[in-house]
Amino acid sequence: MAEAPPPNQLQRRPNRPQPNKRLMLDLIAALGLALAVEGILFAAFPDGMRRAMYEAAHSPSDQMRIVGIISALIGVGVIWLVRHFS
């Protein structure tokens, strides 16, 4: 009968990156995805994106701040949901 490997060897996953490295890879992938989506929007709707940028540039700072905070909270919520339920 073969001997079972020690417990610490059963838990090792050699192909899985370390947690800090995985977070950095996720961050780089997320930034790449954001650039890809933005690039697609600019390529598909250049006039609409120009209008949106003009309107954003002429919006009050308080409105921009609120939109930024809401967007950040939604983004963090989506990330939490994906991490929690996957």
* Residue 1 in domain: no
Concatenated DSSP letters for the chain?
A: -PPPPPHHHHS--TTSPPHHHHHHHHHHHHHHHHHHHHHHHHHH-HHHHHHHHHHHHTS-HHHHHHHHHHHHHHHHHHHHHHHHH-
| Average pLDDT score over the chain | 87
Q: Which domain holds residue 26?
A: 19-85
* Residue 73 in domain: yes
* Residue 7 in domain: no
pLDDT digits (tens, 9 = 90+) for 22-62: 888 888 999 999 999 999 999 999 999 999 999 999 999 99
* Residue 26 in domain: yes
How many domains, in total, are found in the chain?
1
* Residue 9 in domain: no
